[in-house]
Amino acid sequence: MLLARVDGSATSTIKHPSATGWRLAICQPQDDQGNDVGGPLIALDDMGAALHQQVIISSDGDSLRDWVEDSHSPLRFMVTHIVDEVLA
């Protein structure tokens, strides 16, 4: 799982059907010190994480496919936790 910061949201009309109805949060993975690591990602979010909120995103496809109830879903990354505090 990755620690990440929510930097915005995205909208998409033409997409794989399993992504319909999910909020697309733009997440920037971070290390424990809060420095950005790599490029921004798009994660499915149904927790309503706020802007610049720290969250944990999971890159496991299996649990995401159960979540979107589509065994052929090519999606990846979903927000699983909203972080209160990081004790690094």
Per CB under 8 A, residues contacting other proteins are 5, 7-16, 19, 24, 26, 28, 30, 33-36, 39-43, 51-52, 54, 61, 64-65, 71-77
The DSSP string of 16-81 is -GGGTT-EEEEEEEB-TT--B-SS-EEEEESS-PPTT-EEEEE--HHHHHHHHT-TT-----EEEE
Shortest distance in whole angstroms from residue 80 CB to other proteins: 16
Shortest distance in whole angstroms from residue 64 CB to other proteins: 8
With respect to other proteins, which residue has the nearer C-beta, 23 or 47?
A: 23
